[in-house]
């Protein structure tokens, strides 16, 4: 029997397989799959993605958000969490959280030989920006919701 909202089978959604990152950063994260779970359920205050990250790929560049809290929950597989404190291995059932404005860059990297699946959950803040710890990259949002990536000095890619 098919599910109807407020229930949802994530496999029924077409995954997003692109990235807004400019090169040389895009190739570090792709291919990956993100299924936006909250959007089809009408959620407007939080974003929820079910992400599949293949072996050898990174979730993002190491970053922190200025106005959005971020939470990840590992559903399947294992992934390395990298922060200012170093590296930690996260397996299924483990989680990590990142408070808005805390200048501790983070990202996940799949060093295993299997895909990892995890939930990404964050509040949606139209004024959020992100700063990147290790690369010349900055992120902001336009009023229409589009993501904009620039160099740290503001020049476009």
For 76-138, give the DSSP string: ESEEEEEETTEEEEEETT-EEEE-TT----BEEE--SSS-EEEEEEEE--TT--EEESSSS-E
pLDDT tens column, 2-60: 899 999 999 999 999 999 999 999 999 999 999 999 999 999 999 999 999 999 999 99
Question: Domains (ranges, CATH) in the chain?
Answer: 20-150 (2.60.120.10)
pLDDT at 142 over 80: no
Cβ proximity of 138 and 131 under 8 Å: yes
Strand order in the sheet with 70-76: 33-36, 46-53, 116-123, 70-76, 95-98
Confidence at 145, pLDDT banded by 50, 70, 90: confident
> pTM for this one?
0.93
């Amino acid at each position: 029997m098919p599910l109807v909202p407020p229930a949802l089978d994530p496999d029924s959604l077409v995954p997003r397989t692109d990235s807004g990152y400019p090169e040389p950063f895009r190739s570090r994260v792709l291919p990956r799959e993100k299924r936006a779970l909250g959007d089809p359920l009408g959620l407007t205050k939080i974003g929820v993605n079910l992400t599949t990250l293949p072996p050898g790929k990174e979730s993002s560049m190491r970053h922190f958000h200025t106005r959005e809290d971020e939470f990840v929950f590992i559903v399947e597989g294992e992934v390395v969490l990298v922060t200012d404190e170093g590296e930690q291995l996260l397996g299924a059932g483990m989680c990590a959280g990142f408070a808005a404005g805390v200048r501790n860059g983070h990202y996940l990297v799949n060093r295993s030989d299997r895909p990892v699946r995890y939930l990404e959950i964050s509040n949606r803040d139209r004024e959020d920006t992100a700063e990147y710890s290790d690369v010349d990259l900055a992120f902001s949002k336009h009023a229409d919701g589009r993501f904009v990536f620039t160099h740290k000095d503001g020049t476009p890619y």
